[in-house]
Amino acid sequence: MTTMARKRDYSLVGESTRRAIETGLASAEWYHTDVPRKAMKELMQRSDGPAIRDTIIWIAAILGSAAGIVWFWGTWWVVPFLFVYGVLYGSSSDSRWHECGHGTAFRTRWMNDVVYHIASFMLMRNPVQWRWSHARHHTDTIIVGRDAEIAVMRPPDLLKAGLAFTGILDFRYSLPTLVRQAFGKLSDDEKSYIPEMELNKAVVAARWHVAIYVATIALAIALRSWIPLVLVGLPRLYGTWHMVTTGLLQHIGLADNVVDHRLNTRTVYMNPISRFIYWNMNYHVEHHMFPMVPYHALPRLHELIKHDLPEPNLSMWHAYREVWPVLLRQLKYEDFYLKRELPPTARPYRGEFHEVDMSAAAE
């Protein structure tokens, strides 16, 4: 079922899409570790407290580092402030976008919505389009032809993956996309996952974003200063590296076209600072299996189900060392992937969905 003799077609309206629907990979039933309802109910419980605390810290750090940029502009002392501001704006906004998009960060809905829209703007993501693309990502995680959020396609383009750390490619894609959408043009791929009744909302959202960028550029011209652009928009370039460093590890080098998150998703232990920036999304298998569990409960969920999951990577460095040879192998044989071993306590993978002939990769 998963063997792909033909090259992968990552369009969402192409041959791979047709095959995914035909073979039942699209909108399939996915594997879940058994968790007693009582325990799951406790883990799913929402609370405003942790996210309010983290958001106050986040906003205070953003404002503080922005003040440092303005104050020290024109001196070398500005560099550490750019470093901090860039990561807070260009990277940690991704996890805020993500958690608030799921509606799990805060218990109170409007708080999720406010942070979601702010973070979407920081990321140059259309909040309507990306809400739907992420829903699709959870329905059809790394199903070729269905998932709109596959970061590294096969065979991997290593130059493109490397440039992703600079934010250049994303910036080059995101801004023109917003402008195109602001003119009312949505692509066929976008229309494949955004319901018709939401298309106009996507256009309106894009117009708001573009209007703010136009106002920022006008302010920079009026002030004859780069500072407005350094604070709004450009952090998407110079601060995106942490988001890419953590985010690429979610699925890279692992299986595609399977219906078990243990095979296509990776959990990585990370340091506390990265976990704050990333809002615990390093527990990514757990998140995909149970997206109802808020970020602050993911470590508890991990402890509860780790007997059924592959051993997590011990660090980001450990994970990248594991991934690199897989990517090199995929350059020659794109069906190759890293099949992670399960502990003896785990329920086995379902072979009928996940067996891929690797003999050609071994040659």
Looking at beta carbons only, is 98 or 266 nearer to other proteins? 98
**Is 355 a binder of other proteins (CB under 8 A)?**
no
- Report the DSSP beta bridge partners of residue 2: none
State the nearest-atom distance from the C-beta of 262 to other proteins, in Å. 18
The stretches of 196-343 forming alpha helices (DSSP H) are: 199-223, 227-231, 235-238, 241-247, 261-264, 272-278, 284-289, 298-305, 316-332
Q: Which of these ranges, 145-153, 165-173, 251-259, 287-295, lies near other proteins under the rule CB under 8 A?
A: 287-295
* Angle, in degrees to the nearest 10, between helices 109-122 and 127-139: 100
Q: Which two tokens stand for residue 251?
A: 């699925």
**Closer residue to other proteins (CB): 131 or 209:** 131
What are 18's two structure tokens?
């047709």
Near other proteins by CB under 8 A: residue from 27, 200, 225, 271: 27
Q: Does 138 bind other proteins (CB under 8 A)?
A: yes
| DSSP assignment letter at 306 | G
CB 38 to other proteins: min, Å: 9
Of 91, 104, 240, 313, the residue at the interface with other proteins (CB under 8 A) is 104
Per-position x/- string for 177-206, each x denoting binding to other proteins as judged by CB under 8 A, each - no binding: ------------------x-xx--------
> For residue 314, what is the DSSP state?
S
CB 44, min distance to other proteins, A = 4
Tell whether residue 36 is a contact of other proteins (CB under 8 A).
no
Q: State CA 306 to chain mean position distance.
A: 22
Q: Is 279 in the site for other proteins (CB under 8 A)?
A: no
C-beta of 128 vs 281, nearer to other proteins:
128
Stretch that binds other proteins, among 134-142, 203-211, 254-262, 323-331 (CB under 8 A): 134-142
Q: What count of other Cβ atoms lies within 10 Å of the Cβ of residue 345?
A: 9
CB of 10 to other proteins, least distance (A): 22
Q: Which is nearer to other proteins, 42 or 357 (CB)?
A: 42
Contact stretch for other proteins (CB under 8 A) within 14-22, 60-68, 144-152, 285-293 = 285-293
Under rule CB under 8 A, residue 125 binds other proteins: no
- CA angle 245/240/71 to nearest 5° reads 135
> b or e along 41-72 (b: 16 or more beta carbons within 10 Å of the residue's beta carbon)?
eebeebeeeebeebbeebeebbeebbebbeee
DSSP 130-164: HHHHHHHHHHSTT-TTT-TT-SS-SS--HHHHHHH
| Cβ at position 48, least distance to other proteins in Å | 12
Query: How does DSSP classify residue 296?
Result: G
Residue 102 touches other proteins, criterion: CB under 8 A? yes
For residue 267, the cross-strand partners are 283
Residue 283's DSSP bridge partners are: 267
291 binds other proteins (CB under 8 A): yes
DSSP 8-state symbol, 211: H
Calpha distance 193→195 (Å, rounded): 6
Enumerate binding residues for other proteins (CB under 8 A): 27, 40-41, 44-46, 102-104, 107, 109, 128, 131-132, 135, 138-139, 195, 197-198, 290-292
